[in-house]
Amino acid sequence: MKGWFLYEWRTRHLFIISSLVSSTLILWFWGNHHLFPPQAGESKDDTTNVVNLLLSASPPPSFLGDEGAASPLVSINTTPSSSSLDTTHHKNTTEIYKPPNKQDPAVENQACNFGRGKWVRDDNLPLYSGFGCKQWLSGMWACRLTQRTDFAYEKLRWQPKDCQFDHFSGPQFLKRMQDKTLAFIGDSLGRQQFQSLMCMITGGEERHDVEDVGKEYGLVKARGSVRPDGWAYRFPITNTTILYYWSASLCNLEPIDPTNKTTSFAMHLDRPPAFLQRFISRFNVVVLNTGHHWNRGKLNANRWVMYVGGKPNTNRKIADITNAKNLTIYSIVKWVNGELLKYPGLKAFYRSISPRHFFNGDWNSGGTCDSTTPGALEVSQNDSSDSIASGAVKGTNVKLLDITALSGVREEGHISRYSIRATPGMQDCLHWCLPGIPDTWNELLFAQI
Ligand SMILES: *[C@@H]1O[C@H](CO)[C@@H](O)[C@H](O)[C@H]1NC(C)=O
Ligand SMILES: *[C@@H]1O[C@H](CO)[C@@H](O)[C@H](O)[C@H]1NC(C)=O
Ligand SMILES: *[C@@H]1O[C@H](CO)[C@@H](O)[C@H](O)[C@H]1NC(C)=O
Ligand SMILES: *[C@@H]1O[C@H](CO)[C@@H](O)[C@H](O)[C@H]1NC(C)=O
Ligand SMILES: *[C@@H]1O[C@H](CO)[C@@H](O)[C@H](O)[C@H]1NC(C)=O
């Protein structure tokens, strides 16, 4: 778990709490209790409330660095209503985004570390309206439809240091993806990225030409369930398909006794999800993620039993959740890397963990994230904050979509208290408002495909 960057914040002595361990509880809570019925292999009875918080603190990062004064970029005054900064203890200015000068010598993207840089204000954002995109954007993530009144978080653009790349454009994206298929496979944060991308491509406008091609991938609603295991849409104009498949664990789940209604599931830590095995030959870009479902409570509640090498796991070291997750992430990256040799047209990304921000408590003990300002604007570290993800892709041709640190300073971007279906007093400091931070993940994805 090292590599989690946690720091003391402002003068209010709040802490950013980044724990993978308990995240699944909130995912379960929002996912199963309020949004969806249980999935195959997902039970309703998550009784384990053992929450393992990883708490630590280190000195605050320089808030604005020293760039406010020295930078040639324009600065603006902000008022409390439109501010994205805390005016009490820090400089009350945010750099305004300036489009790059085409004459500037561009740094090769290969050499560029997209995870290092700063957030600057860009009034051309967001790329779609949170009042729109009803075709793809779930109401529960559309903060514009809630009581929230501060929306400065929609206007920050991530500017990687020393990188130049084309900004996202829907038509450009489709052109690049002509006759191609992009697949997101992962948990609900992957689903957020999927919805974000659909909205970004369409600018949030309703599109009657887009076809639902879920059937081609077996993504149909099973009898008795409220939603399918994923969605697939095709833009006929360029024959581009975008799909999302729900796989919270990113490993293969198999009923141990298919004839038993309450069967346990073999959770094959070292085997990729069957869906991915089956369809990878048809994908041109895959974006994988997992992380927030790895805890004992979740495994027990879902009746997931760890298997390794096709047999129940007997290795006590692997039985430790962190090691099991590590094994799965390394295994899937290794497997996908092998597939890259078979399919030269395939590009694969592993998306690093999306950070959560529960202050003064956890998801079930009054933890909050109701700041309206970012914790910081700059990320200067070179290494990923997700050491498992960066370790797993090292030496492979799978690329790291490293969003952890840049999202980690954006605590104000979560659904927070405005979660429309949560119990009063509980905040969603795991999922993000859309439009919002996941749009940036897609900007960085676009820059690399
Ligand atoms: C905000 O900016 C204005 C103008 O630059 C300055 O006069 C004022 O002191 C600043 N306020 C704080 C709290 O820093
Ligand atoms: C669309 O793209 C797929 C490859 O992703 C290709 O097999 C198919 O023939 C294309 N369809 C059309 C109508 O061009
Ligand atoms: C069905 O599976 C559950 C969970 O593994 C087990 O407790 C139960 O005994 C099984 N029922 C039958 C009839 O095998
Ligand atoms: C994860 O697994 C890899 C490969 O087995 C190993 O090299 C690495 O040390 C493990 N990392 C952790 C944090 O356990
Ligand atoms: C990050 O890498 C750059 C270029 O490789 C280097 O100049 C800089 O000192 C590094 N920063 C840190 C915090 O390690």
- The ligand 4 atom nearest the CA atom of 322: 14
pLDDT lower than 50: segments of the chain: 1-90, 106-109
Pocket test for ligand 1, best of 83, 87, 94, 96 (most atoms within 8 A of CB): 87
pLDDT of 421 reads: 66
Residues 43-102 pLDDT 10s: 333 222 222 222 222 222 222 222 222 222 222 233 333 333 333 344 556 888 887 665
Kindly report whether the peptide bond that precedes residue 312 is cis, defined as omega within 30 degrees of 0: no
pLDDT of 41 reads: 39
Specify the pTM.
0.80
The amino acid at 329: I
CB contact at 8 A, 421 and 30:
yes
Residues 216-232 pLDDT 10s: 999 998 888 888 999 99
CB contact at 8 A, 331 and 337:
no
Pocket test for ligand 2, best of 239, 281, 343 (most atoms within 8 A of CB): 239
Atom 1 (ligand 1): residue with closest C-alpha? 92
pLDDT of 81 reads: 34
Read out DSSP for 29-66?
A: IIIIIII-PPPTT--S--------------PPPPSSTT
Distance 87 CA to ligand 1 centre (A): 8
- Which ligand does the CA of 380 lie closest to? 5
Q: Which two tokens stand for residue 181?
A: 């298929």
Residues 6+ apart with CB under 8 A from 40: 222, 253, 255
Distance 96 CA to ligand 2 centre (A): 42
- Which ligand does the CA of 115 lie closest to? 5
Atom 7 (ligand 1): residue with closest C-alpha? 77
CB contact at 8 A, 432 and 190:
no
Atom 10 (ligand 1): residue with closest C-alpha? 92
The rounded distance, in Å, linking the Cα atoms of 357 and 359 is 6
pLDDT of 1 reads: 37
Sign of the torsion angle spanned by Cα atoms 405, 411, 412, 418? positive
pLDDT of 49 reads: 26
Beta carbon of 323 within 6 Å of any ligand 4 atom: yes
pLDDT of 137 reads: 97
Beta carbon of 262 within 6 Å of any ligand 3 atom: yes
Q: Which two tokens stand for residue 69?
A: 């004064």
Pocket test for ligand 5, best of 118, 382, 383, 384 (most atoms within 8 A of CB): 382
